[in-house]
Amino acid sequence: MKSIMDMDYEDLKREITENLGWERYRADQIADWIYNKHVLDFSKMTNLSKEYRKILSENYYTDLLELVDKQISKIDRTTKYLWKLRDGNTIESVLIFYPNRVSACISTQVGCPVGCKFCATGMSGFVRNLSTGEIVSQILHMEMEARLRIGNVVFMGMGEPFLNYENVIKSIKIINHQKMIGIGIRHITVSTVGIPDKIVSFAKDGMNARLALSLHAAYNHKRDFLVPINIKYPIEEIIQAAKEYQKITNNRVSIEYIMIKELNDYDSDAEKLVEVLKGLKVFVNLIPVNPVVKDFQRPSRRRIEAFKKILESHGIEVEVRTEKGTDIDAACGQLRIRNKQLKRAFK
Ligand code: SAH
Ligand code: SF4
């Protein structure tokens, strides 16, 4: 049995014409059923002959995710989905509602090997990479569950996308392709902790998708502590790679900066950040830390504003990110918090 969901458009065409020996347009029909009509059951693909449907059912599958739980925020409708994969592992994805669009936040790994000190996913350890199909299916299944079309995708769920590079690039192709999910490339953002060689490859392979950099500190000694992979890839190398990304794509880079009281929220941190970002066109998102760890507190509103002003005074565009879905632990870094309880409940 093969998974159709792991095939990009070229793969699907090849499978249909070369492996099955059918007409090329059959690939378009199948893609239309799955990605446009949201029909995953081959037996219901009625413009294919009964014989074709039988062959498909016997040799391929489309169901990579099973819904285990769904939580809807009473505050802002943010919806968190918990999915079970075919091997029993679970992952989460989130739908976020904005006035004029719906955004999907998707996972790329079961757990995460990076182990950032403030992140619930990072603290839960690493199990495995997601397949291309498992990444793409999160979007498809949320569209099916919520009965809507997603207009924006951020790779900001569980896992580090650039440690699962090949599958992430392939999933972007499927998410973007007109005959598949069909979301515009400018509406796809990959968030990374910063793997320099992958950032540069992404500029070439990512078809102009956007990049968000999880920086969180401008001093290496602080970042070494918060984001342990910084010891291997220090700030200067990441920023250099981001500059190369920018040279190739001409895209502005988002800088994610989680603010933690009395750790990285001083004026001197803001000034150092200005220095570090020199020569890079950026948009900075300041994110008051979600209290995953007790030791990490949010700075006061006044402190955040003062920090923001310093960046602005140097002409940097900056926004304090408003939180979504805090009542259901769907906000950044809170994915997986209640997973253990859920797993027990759904056994
Ligand atoms: N691994 C990638 C993408 C997933 S993490 C990355 O780190 O960029 C998604 C986002 O959640 C990142 O910007 C991360 O910094 C943020 N995040 C993690 N824990 C958080 C917390 N406790 N409070 C606020 N944001 C958090
Ligand atoms: Fe992994 Fe991102 Fe969490 Fe760090 S913040 S542990 S890179 S998911």
Q: Is the pLDDT of residue 129 over 70?
A: yes
Cβ proximity of 269 and 308 under 8 Å: no
As a whole number, the mean pLDDT across the chain is 94
Q: What percent of the chain has pLDDT over 90?
A: 88
Please state the pTM of the whole predicted model. Answer: 0.95
Token pair belonging to 337: 């918090």
Q: How far apart are CA 61 and CA 346, in angstroms?
A: 24
For the chain, what are the domain ranges? Answer: 2-61, 65-345
How far out from the chain centre does Cα 94 lie?
A: 10
User: Beta strands 90-98 and 101-105: pairing type?
Assistant: antiparallel
pLDDT tens digits for range 135-186: 999 999 999 999 999 999 999 999 999 999 999 999 999 999 999 999 999 9
Q: Is the pLDDT of residue 51 over 90?
A: yes
Q: In terms of residues, how long is the chain? A: 347
Match 């070439």 to its residue by tokens: 204
Which of the four pLDDT bands, split at 50, 70 and 90, describes residue 72?
very high
Which of 2-6, 17-21, 322-326 is predicted least confidently?
A: 322-326
Calculate ∠ Cα 340-345-347, nearest 5°: 95
Among candidate residues 226, 214, 230, the one with its CA nearest the CA of residue 264: 226
CATH class of 65-345: alpha beta
Res 327: pLDDT = 79
Cβ proximity of 285 and 254 under 8 Å: yes
User: Architecture of 2-61 per CATH?
Assistant: Orthogonal Bundle (1.10)
Continuous H helices in 250-282: 267-276
CA of 7 to the centre of ligand 1 (A): 29
Token pair belonging to 230: 């910084």
Res 337: pLDDT = 53
Res 124: pLDDT = 81
**How would you class 347 by CB atoms within 10 Å of its CB: exposed for 0-12, middle for 13-18, buried for 19 or more?**
exposed
Cβ proximity of 231 and 272 under 8 Å: no
Q: Is the pLDDT of residue 347 over 60?
A: no
Question: 206: part of which helix (H) or strand (E)?
Answer: none
Distances in whole angstroms, Cα of residue 181 to Cα of each of 169, 176, 326:
15, 6, 29
Q: How far apart are CA 253 and CA 191, in angstroms?
A: 10
Q: Is the pLDDT of residue 69 over 60?
A: yes
pLDDT tens digits for range 199-229: 999 999 999 999 999 999 999 999 999 999 9
Q: Is the pLDDT of residue 341 over 90?
A: no
CA of 122 to the centre of ligand 2 (A): 5
Rg (CA), the chain: 21
DSSP 8-class letter at 187 = G
Pocket of ligand 1 (CB under 6 A): 118-119, 156, 160, 191-193, 214, 256, 258, 287, 289-290, 292, 332-333
pLDDT tens digits for range 225-267: 999 999 999 999 999 999 999 999 999 999 999 999 999 999 9
| Mean pLDDT across 273-284 | 98
Q: How far apart are CA 154 and CA 246, in angstroms?
A: 19
Q: Is the pLDDT of residue 340 over 70?
A: no
Q: What percent of the chain has pLDDT over 70?
A: 95
> Which residue in 15, 92, 143, 160 is the catalytic one?
92
Helix axes 235-249, 267-276, angle to 10 degrees: 50
User: Beta strands 188-192 and 152-155: pairing type?
Assistant: parallel
| Mean pLDDT across 36-46 | 98
Res 181: pLDDT = 98
Among candidate residues 336, 292, 331, the one with its CA nearest the CA of residue 126: 336
Cβ proximity of 226 and 209 under 8 Å: no
Pocket test residue of 80, 118, 264 for ligand 1, highest count of atoms within 8 A of CB = 118
Q: 255 in ligand 2 pocket by Cβ < 6 Å?
A: no
One-letter amino acid of 42: F
Residue 76: how many CB atoms within 10 A of its CB?
A: 17
